[in-house]
Amino acid sequence: MNALLPVIVLLAVSCQLANDHLPENPSHAYFPLADLVDRQIALLSAQQRQVLKIVQTGDQKPDTVVQQRVNWQNELDLFKEADINKPAWIGEYAILADSNTTIYRAKENQPVKELRLIGQGQAGEVPLAIEAHIFQSNLLYTAEKHMTLQFDNNLLKSYHIKGWQKIIFADTMQYAMHTYLR
């Protein structure tokens, strides 16, 4: 038992030292995108705004539709995919910042390759735009998408998703969706 005591003490100290390098709230180590999307869903649901949506798949002609009633939860949940505040990803993103832009760039092979905040003002303010680049691949499926949220006076004004996906034994499908709030 005496031989195990130094090992136990060493492990306890190592765990404490590792925890000293973590942020106090690990769920918000980076920009809280999921929280922002949830706040926008609540605001837009209360306002009941309509949208103009332009959707195109492959080489087909774009379809344009005006939606009077929008389920904002369904519309915007996809953007939570770009939230990089996952406990396993703490420390996995390099942060590059200047006076107008903050970029979170994956150091390793994370699905969210880059999250870019453009026109970020004071702390707590919504950026003018948020761009995300996501790439996922496994044995059956490969997909890439670029997503953009654009804001005006802290409220969503448009969002865009453009990408492609390839499923094994199927052709590559390209798609684009541009949505403008009215």
Model pLDDT for residues 5-62, shown as the tens digit of each residue: 333 333 333 333 333 333 344 456 899 999 999 999 999 999 988 999 999 999 999 9
Q: What is the extent of the structural domain holding 174?
A: 28-181
The DSSP code sequence of 16-65 is: HHHHHTS-SSGGGSS--HHHHHHHHHHHHHHHT--EEEEEEETTSPPEEE
Answer whether residue 177 shows pLDDT above 50. Answer: yes
> What is the C-alpha to C-alpha distance for residues 47 and 167, in angstroms, rounded to an integer?
39
Residue 13 included in any domain: no
Model pLDDT for residues 60-97, shown as the tens digit of each residue: 999 999 999 999 999 999 999 999 998 989 999 999 99
Model pLDDT for residues 106-152, shown as the tens digit of each residue: 998 899 999 999 997 666 679 999 999 999 999 999 999 999 999 99
* Predicted pLDDT of residue 122: 63
* Predicted pLDDT of residue 99: 86
User: Who has greater pLDDT, 2 or 158?
Assistant: 158
Residue 15 included in any domain: no
Residue 174 included in any domain: yes
Backbone angles phi, psi at 13, to 5 degrees: -65, -40
> What is the C-alpha to C-alpha distance for residues 172 and 20, in angstroms, rounded to an integer?
46
Residue 50 included in any domain: yes
Kindly provide the b/e burial profile for residues 93-128, where b requires at least 16 CB atoms within 10 angstroms of the residue's own CB. Answer: beeeeeeeebbbbbeeebebbbbbbbebeeeeebbb
Residue 62 included in any domain: yes
The DSSP code sequence of 74-129 is: HHHGGGGGG----GGGTT-EEEEE-SSEEEEEESSS-SEEEEEEES--STTPPPSE
* Predicted pLDDT of residue 13: 34
Residue 83 backbone class (left: φ over 0; alpha: ψ -120 to 50; beta: rest): beta
Residue 8 included in any domain: no
Place of tokens 């379809």: 63
Radius of gyration of the chain (CA): 21
Residue 177: name the closest of 136, 146, 133, 132 by CA.
146
* Predicted pLDDT of residue 123: 63
* Predicted pLDDT of residue 164: 97
Number of domains in the chain: 1
Residue 55 included in any domain: yes
